[in-house]
Amino acid sequence: MDMMEFMDLVYDGEKLSAMVEHGMAPTAVLRAQIHGLVVLEQLKRCGLPQYFHNFHVAGVTIGEFMTLGREENGWLLQRLVPDAKDAAVLSRHLQQRQGFVGGILCDGKDVAVKITDHKRCRLSMRQGTQVPTEIVMLDRIESPSFDGVVRLLDYYREGDCWFIVMEKPRVSQDLFDYVTDKGRLSEDTARNFLRQILEAVRHCHSRGVIHMDLKEENILVDLDTEKLKLIDFGSAHPIGDDVHSEFYGTKAYGPPERISSRGLFRARPAEVWSLGILLYSMVHGNVPFEENSEIVRGRLRFKTGLSDTCRDLILRCLRQNPDERPSVEQIFSHPWVTETKVSDTAVARDNKVTAASSSPEDLGELGVHGEGPGEGDEGRDEGRIGRSSAF
């Protein structure tokens, strides 16, 4: 049975149910139950889950209800979303699992499970076994006293697939969707969020890990508390080899030196560039650059009314010369970050364009690129760039 035949079968819930009852389930599914949900005990191939998105059986989306079997245990999957690159990232609710995993009582908790192909992911040694490097990085940053990074709960291998089980706030949204819903964030909210992101980055550094893919999609917002959590360590590296030749992150958040310096870049200045892109996107509702040519040119447009200190921090982080960018600790002490309230005297300037390589005294602003509904307004910027991955 090929994939198209299986997809057609998925649409026909009664036929699939009858086949299951008579032991004639397709090879991709070892067991299925059509009682308001579909149970999948094992997937034949790692890439298979992405085909289930939005397919229905008996009126239920398969992507919302799937169980992957692991002996007598199972995971009830929710909101299946395929990743276009190396893995399928699935948001799930833990089910049918009693006891403790990693010292935490997991029964009934919301979790996220990332499925990745053993043959395609970076591997490292852990306890004498080759495992995805992401698992080693998550293990390094584990700390019961710091909750600003995602916590690894469990991992296991089924065939060529690795299943990485992580915590997930029950009511959460990634920062991309959060900003999209609001149009853009106020400076006070953006400041609160940036401080939390900086704390997460600092914590990772203290454990010898650099994330290497800071972006809105990799930050979860707890909608009840507005606490942030840094996720997706699939691109993370140990701190040590400072010069890198391969960029595993997202183009719109990548520094110009990865393009213009024979592809070589240093991890920490590149991370500061990503922090500048994050801050710009939070207060404008969109990233400043899309194409490599725009990144190298480094011309910025600022929205009307943005405070001088916020502009200054963005410009410092987005210096074309990586040696001129501040460190994470210097960002912590920047006047905008240490402020408790946005100044009421922020001056709106005439439309100008400024280069990210210019000095702080040459701050410019355009009330065009970032115009759109502010936090709390209805609607969103029509030009907001689509997400690059999902969680």
Q: Which domains does the chain have, with CATH numbers?
A: 3-167 (3.30.200.20), 172-362 (1.10.510.10)
The highest-confidence range among 43-57, 105-119, 237-251, by mean pLDDT, is 237-251
Quickly count helices (H) and strands (E) in the chain.
11, 21
pLDDT tens per residue, range 351-387: 344 445 433 333 343 322 333 334 433 333 334 555 5
Of 134-143, 158-167, 303-312, 352-361, where does mean pLDDT reach its minimum? 352-361
Percent of the chain with pLDDT over 90: 44
pLDDT reading at 131 higher than 80: yes
Nearest to 73 by CA among 51, 109, 41, 46: 41
Long-range contacts of 332-337 (CB under 8 A, 24+ apart): 332/198, 332/202, 334/309, 335/309, 336/187, 336/191, 336/307, 336/309, 336/310, 336/312, 337/191, 337/194, 337/195, 337/198, 337/313
Catalytically annotated residues: 213
Query: What number is the average pLDDT over the span 208-217?
Result: 95
Q: Yes or no: say if 160 and 119 are a contact pair by the CB < 8 Å rule.
A: yes
pLDDT at 267 over 80: yes
Going by pLDDT thresholds of 50, 70 and 90, the confidence category of residue 298 is: very high
> What is the structure's pLDDT at 27?
31
**pLDDT the model gives residue 264:** 87
At 236 the pLDDT is 94
pTM of the model: 0.68
More confident residue, 53 or 223: 223
Cα separation of 218 and 389, whole Å?
Answer: 9
The mean per-residue pLDDT over the stretch 32-39 comes to: 27
pLDDT, residue 387, reads 52
Between CA 137 and CA 145 the distance in angstroms is 17
Residue 85: pLDDT band by 50, 70, 90 thresholds?
Answer: very low
- Identify the pLDDT of residue 147: 95
* Cα–Cα dist 229/245, whole Å: 28
Position 60 confidence tier, pLDDT thresholds 50, 70, 90: very low
Q: Residue 325 — very low, low, confident or very high, per pLDDT cuts 50/70/90?
A: very high
Instruction: List, in sequence order, every residue forming a beta bridge with 92; answer none if it has no partner.
Output: 77, 111
Cβ pair 43, 52 in contact under 8 A: no
Residue 1, pLDDT above cutoff 80: no
pLDDT of residue 163: 75
Rounded to a whole number of angstroms, the distance between the first and last alpha carbons of the chain is 30
Q: What is the mean pLDDT of the chain?
A: 69
Question: Could you give the percent of the chain with pLDDT greater than 70?
Answer: 58
- Of 75-79, 299-303, 313-317, minimum mean pLDDT range: 75-79
* pLDDT band per the 50, 70, 90 thresholds, residue 62: very low
**pLDDT score for 109:** 58
Is the pLDDT at 50 greater than 80? The verdict is no
Residue 202, pLDDT score: 98
Is 82 a residue whose pLDDT tops 80?
no
